Amino acid sequence: MTGSARPGPVGDHPGHPPARALRPAGTGRRARPLIGITGYVEPASWAVWRDVPASLVPQAYVRSVTAAGGRAVVLPPDDLDADVVDVLDGLLLAGGADVGPERYGQPVDPRTEPRPDRDAGESALLAAAFAADLPVLGVCRGMQLLAVAYGGTLHQHLPDVVGHDRHRPAPGVYGAHPVRFAPGSRTATVLAGVERVNSYHHQGVADPGGLTVTGWADDGVVEAVEDPARRFLLGVQWHPENDDDPRPVTALVRAARPG
């Protein structure tokens, strides 16, 4: 099962260079590769403050990047420009709320909860990352955003398709299920020996667009996608940052090491 032969990603910035365009070399040296993690804006509470709009990501993302030898930088939603990509060595598209269905030509299902600010900011970051051939990892929502950027579409409510809710059993409860990977793919190499993953999502990839599907759950849900023409572009539907062995994050950091 593979994506179509479409030549590459599409999105808000159709004039970006092709996949093999090279990123200008940085002038400084860093001991650790700098990994941008896309953040949320959500009400948060701490100390005496309650329900204050805050830019945040779960610490598990930061911890997994640090453990892999990277330096994490949280990127709040911002669509004014994507110049920050010039100083990054890799980009991690974090999970979270749904991708807006207008981006893949569908009306909004009542159960879809989009975040237009994230869609706009992350699409701009992706366009710049594609132009720079920056290593990119998409996690959960991040994988879905990659599929949309490559011209694909999503299932807006997965239980309607698969007939169960094992991918998101209850609010705040992760599911777990078997997974298999396409032999010979980058995904299979990165995740050799992994047979079961966690999950927390109610949407999924319907059409991967120009991406290649390289992982599936036991019910056929798409669990991994990649673009083998790029230096490193991988999407996973589960949450490796919460695993004891977050191999996709480790692979991103390794791919992002300068030189």
**Residue numbers annotated as active site:** 140, 239, 241
Q: For the chain, what's the residue count?
A: 259
Rg (CA), the chain: 17
Task: Please state, in angstroms and rounded to a whole number, the distance separating the CA atoms of residues 164 and 156.
Answer: 14
Instruction: Reduce the secondary structure of the chain to three states and give it as a string.
Output: CCCCCCCCCCCCCCCCCCCCCCCCCCCCCCCCCEEEEECEEEEEEECCEEEEEEEECCHHHHHHHHHCCCEEEEECCCCCCCHHHHHCCEEEECCCCECCHHHHCCCCCCCCCECHHHHHHHHHHHHHHHHHCCCEEEECHHHHHHHHHCCCEEECCCHHHHCCCCCCCECCECEEEEEEECCCCHHHHHCCCCCEEEECCCCEEEECCCCEEEEEECCCCEEEEECCCCCCEEEECCCHHHCCCCHHHHHHHHHHCCC
